[in-house]
Amino acid sequence: MPEAIWISFAFGLGLLTKAVGPPPLVGYLAAGFVLSGLAASPSLGISAEPTAVLAHIAHLGVLLMLFTVGLKLKLKSVISPEVIGGSLLHFAITCLVFTPGLYLILDITWYAAFMLAVALSFSSTVLAAKVLENKRELRAFHGRVSIGILIMQDLIALLVMSLAAGQTPSQWALIVFGLPLLRPLLFKLLDASGHDELLVLLGLLLALVLGGLGFETVGLSSELGALIFGAILANHPRSQELAKSLWSVKEIFLVGFFLQIGIGGLPDTHAIIFAVVAALVLPLKGILFFFLMLLFRLRARSGFLTSLALTNYSEFGLIVASIALPEWLVPLAITVALSFLISAPLNRFAHPLYERLSHRLTPFESMRRHPDEQPVSLDDTRVLVMGMGRTGTSSYDWLKATEPRLMALDSDPAKVAQHQHEGRNVIFADAEDNTFWESLHMPSLEAVIL
């Protein structure tokens, strides 16, 4: 049973990689390559031939990942100039620059060069979300912009995958346009599923059966089906609970995807050279994102933190390559792994890095008002509440009856808007931004509630 040996190697190298710093998926890729190398020695008796079981598990992992992306696909999280404009401009510029370069340097077809450029244009949803979550910055302004751009990239990747697959839809594919009519029924099913295993089963049913198998049956991409069924449920109050309940199942299945890549074959010299060169040009990706964010009037700090979170190559690029360019899967896998090794430690020290570079970056800021503008004065505020979560909101409501000069700060723009709508004196500001405190005028402040 080769799968038992594969699981052991995946766990061991995943644990070792996690201890060093990068995400465990780098270890899963390494496990596949190690198994492929060991299989070359017949005396060890280790098999590294991809099996139908592994291929099926890998495909299920991709479908579940796209379903959870769909669950996050709320229009308000992507409809903003910096998200739509930033993601589309970055994609277009990257493809325009990389495609002719790859065509000339690698002596490949224009189609292969374009698809490689597309794969290299994406940033890692897994790594960026994990880094932002660990720092509790998913809801901060730069966190929301980063996730919005990643969602836009996922949609672009899905479109490319559908076109590359070359499937011809049947006449029954028109049923897809009626899927929004199922929303009330799906909402009721989600409400009735409780909080335990039924909720997980509902997610699997929608992602793998209705979305995956259903769309394949009518000649459409199963990946597209998984994403659409996730998007239908995105506005349900329990959509994030469903995403969290599927998280561990999705991660386990995705282990199969990364193992499958490694087991597919050891990297040759050309693959390693390609990965090293791609890693060397990785900073250009971050620089482009930074100046695009400034173009859309973000402050230097938000632009820097957003671009740093996106300075990596994506596992979605591997999924695109598995469909469009299977012969480039191993070189791209090495490239993604190298980018994670570079990006993970940089993001861990993102704030200290900005403090050291801020005097060089702030001169590039636009002089116009920024969407992430922070106050320069608290005026006559006497009591300041830092953060409007459950505790902060309770403290604010308790104090407002006796303290007229009360103000609160929060780094989540959506939360700020909600509190302002409910009549609270809440403004946007990131308390971790040292430059904010250095320039803030607070002449009457007497107390701060953390």
Q: Measured at the alpha carbon of residue 55, what is the angle toward residues 54 and 58, in degrees to the nearest 5?
A: 85
**Which residue type is seen at 31?**
A
Domain chopping of the chain, boundaries:
2-363, 383-449
Task: Give the global pTM.
Answer: 0.77
If we measure between CA atoms, which residue out of 169, 257, 253, 252 comes closest to residue 215?
169
How far is residue 109's CA from residue 285's CA, in Å, rounded to a whole number?
24
**Could you count the other beta carbons within 10 Å of the beta carbon of residue 284?**
13
Quote the distance between the C-alpha of residue 24 and its chain's center: 16
Strands (E) located in 48-133: none
Do domains 2-363 and 383-449 share one topology? The answer is: no
Q: State the CATH architecture for 383-449.
A: 3-Layer(aba) Sandwich (3.40)
**pLDDT digit of tens for each residue in the chain (450 aa)?**
667 777 888 888 888 888 887 778 778 888 888 877 776 666 665 666 667 778 888 888 888 888 887 887 777 667 788 899 999 999 999 999 999 999 998 888 999 999 999 999 999 877 787 778 777 787 778 888 888 898 888 788 877 877 776 666 667 667 777 888 888 999 998 888 888 889 899 999 999 999 888 888 887 778 778 888 988 888 888 888 888 888 888 888 888 877 877 776 677 888 889 999 999 999 999 999 999 999 998 888 889 999 999 999 987 788 888 888 888 888 888 898 888 888 888 888 888 999 899 889 988 888 777 776 667 677 888 888 888 888 888 889 898 888 888 888 888 877 888 888 888 888 888 777 776 776 677 878 888 887
- What is the dotted CATH code of the domain comprising 2-363? 1.20.1530.20
Q: Output the six-digit token pair for 248.
A: 């561990």
Could you give the count of Cα atoms lying within 13 Å of 185 in the half-sphere of its Cβ?
Answer: 7
Look up residue 51 and give its DSSP letter.
P
Could you give the count of Cα atoms lying within 13 Å of 1 in the half-sphere of its Cβ?
Answer: 4
Q: Output the six-digit token pair for 359.
A: 């005097």
